[in-house]
Amino acid sequence: MTEQTAARIASEFFLGDEPGALVSASRLGAILARIHTGQPLSDLQENFLEDRGYHALLGLARGGLDRAAFGVVAIAEQAARQTERAAEKSALAHRIEDEARLRQAKTDRNNAKFFAAAERKRAKRKLFDDFDMGYVEHEDFARVRQILLQVVGGTAISRDNLTWLAAAGREYWTDPLRRAHHRILAQELTQEWRKTGDPWKAVNACAQWRKADEPAEGLEITQSALKRGTSPKLRSALLTTSGGAFRDMRQFDDAVRNGTEAHGLTPDDFRPCTLLGAVHIEMGDYAEGAAWYDKAEARGAGRDLIDREIRAILAAAKPEDRNTIRAALKTLDPMRFETI
């Protein structure tokens, strides 16, 4: 019997919805073929129909139902099967959806944990990134983090930590950290200057603003302090630190004017001399700059201090200017500037 014949017989007995009925070699297909040809069923075949719920077909095979009654019962059974299958299909779809939701919920929880951990790590790392910190050694991590948190909170770095940063922790003494530390000190001194009117607070505040790379802030304070009556020594100090701020801003003419006046007020003080030495070298007048540094050394400025200033000038200069400055200084005094 062909499969086409099997399908036709299955439809005749209202079992076209049953996959087994469409295959002639299946148990159900063989049973249908026997009933179709009027052959009796074995006990095993009848038990099979009973177990599978094909009661109409069983009744027809046993002679308990005629064709008309069989059709009514078989159609009802077919409808019941289809309803049951639809319910099973719907339940399966819901179960699949529920399982998918559970998997997605689990994935979402895992993702949330991952992203939360990543965010915590990113936030933790941001503190260091904000200060241009690279890798921090494990044994230094807690100390460096505490320093950064204090600075972010507006507290200047303690003396002990500054000492550590200058020695064992010098790789953590980044420019952003330096600026932030000196900005805090500058703000504190600025508040004290405004509160007390003490001009020395203005001098120190300007020095800290310069170290914070914000010379304009310091210059505003010293210019205000210079308008008040001051002693020659104090005025010289204000002019010198103002001249340094002008120098930072590359307003060299103003820096020279301030330094010259300060030197006239306190001719024995080396500080105006070092200012003028630095400014003249940065202006390209190397002989005049070296002469002012000689005057500073004669007035008590240590050679180490002067060497550090010259090295700082060289470090900040463009490569081509750096070589020009170094060569010019060696021409003026080969022994003095050989190692600069």
Same structural domain for residues 334 and 211?
Answer: yes
- pLDDT beyond 90 at 192: yes
Q: What is the pLDDT of residues 217-234, one digit of tens each?
A: 999 999 999 998 789 999
For residue 164, being part of any structural domain is answered with no
Residue 118's pLDDT band (cuts 50, 70, 90): low
Same structural domain for residues 216 and 334?
Answer: yes
Once rounded to an integer, what is the mean pLDDT over residues 46-65?
A: 92
Once rounded to an integer, what is the mean pLDDT over residues 193-208?
A: 95
**Over pLDDT 70: what percentage of the chain?**
98
**Alpha helix ranges (H) inside the chain:** 3-12, 27-36, 43-52, 55-62, 67-129, 138-152, 159-166, 175-196, 199-211, 215-226, 232-248, 252-265, 270-283, 286-298, 303-316, 319-332
* Domains identified in the chain, total number: 2
Same structural domain for residues 33 and 95?
Answer: yes
Distance CA 191, CA 236 (A): 22
Unique residue bearing structure tokens 């020695």: 167
Distance CA 59, CA 73 (A): 10
Same structural domain for residues 102 and 194?
Answer: no
The dihedral region occupied by 2, where left means phi > 0, alpha psi between -120 and 50, and beta the remainder, is beta
Q: What is the pLDDT of residues 16-38, one digit of tens each?
A: 888 888 888 899 989 999 999 98
Same structural domain for residues 109 and 202?
Answer: no
Residue 87 amino acid letter: A
Q: 43 with 24: CB under 8 angstroms?
A: no
Residue 102 amino acid letter: L
Same structural domain for residues 84 and 182?
Answer: no
Once rounded to an integer, what is the mean pLDDT over residues 46-74?
A: 91
For residue 180, being part of any structural domain is answered with yes
Unique residue bearing structure tokens 């490569």: 319
For residue 137, being part of any structural domain is answered with no
Does the reported pTM lie above 0.75?
Answer: no
Same structural domain for residues 14 and 120?
Answer: yes
Once rounded to an integer, what is the mean pLDDT over residues 38-65?
A: 92
For residue 151, being part of any structural domain is answered with no
Distance CA 14, CA 106 (A): 46
128 vs 316, residue with greater confidence: 128
Provide CB contacts within 8 A for 222, sequence distance 6+. Answer: 202, 203, 206, 238, 241, 242, 245
Of 53-67, 117-131, 218-232, 279-293, the one with minimum mean pLDDT is 117-131
pLDDT of 114: 77
For residue 74, being part of any structural domain is answered with yes
Domain boundary among 112, 130, 148: 130
Of 127-141, 145-159, 286-300, 306-320, the one with minimum mean pLDDT is 306-320
Q: Which two tokens stand for residue 77?
A: 């059974």
Distance CA 18, CA 320 (A): 93
For residue 165, being part of any structural domain is answered with no
Q: 175 with 207: CB under 8 angstroms?
A: no
Q: What is the pLDDT of residues 262-312, one digit of tens each?
A: 999 999 999 999 999 999 999 999 999 999 999 999 999 988 888 888 888
Residue 7's pLDDT band (cuts 50, 70, 90): confident
**Over pLDDT 90: what percentage of the chain?**
60
pLDDT of 316: 81
Once rounded to an integer, what is the mean pLDDT over residues 204-216?
A: 96
Distance CA 173, CA 132 (A): 10
Q: Give the mean pLDDT of the chain.
A: 90
Same structural domain for residues 333 and 200?
Answer: yes
pLDDT of 109: 85
Same structural domain for residues 11 and 85?
Answer: yes
* Residue 290: domain span: 171-338
Distance CA 61, CA 13 (A): 11
Once rounded to an integer, what is the mean pLDDT over residues 55-81?
A: 91
According to DSSP, residue 20 is labeled G
Provide CB contacts within 8 A for 170, sequence distance 6+. Answer: none
CATH classification at residue 249: 1.25.40.10
For residue 297, being part of any structural domain is answered with yes
Same structural domain for residues 52 and 192?
Answer: no
Same structural domain for residues 126 and 181?
Answer: no
Domain boundary among 97, 130, 163: 130
The helix/strand/coil state of 70 is helix
Same structural domain for residues 97 and 181?
Answer: no
For residue 211, being part of any structural domain is answered with yes
Distance CA 171, CA 149 (A): 18
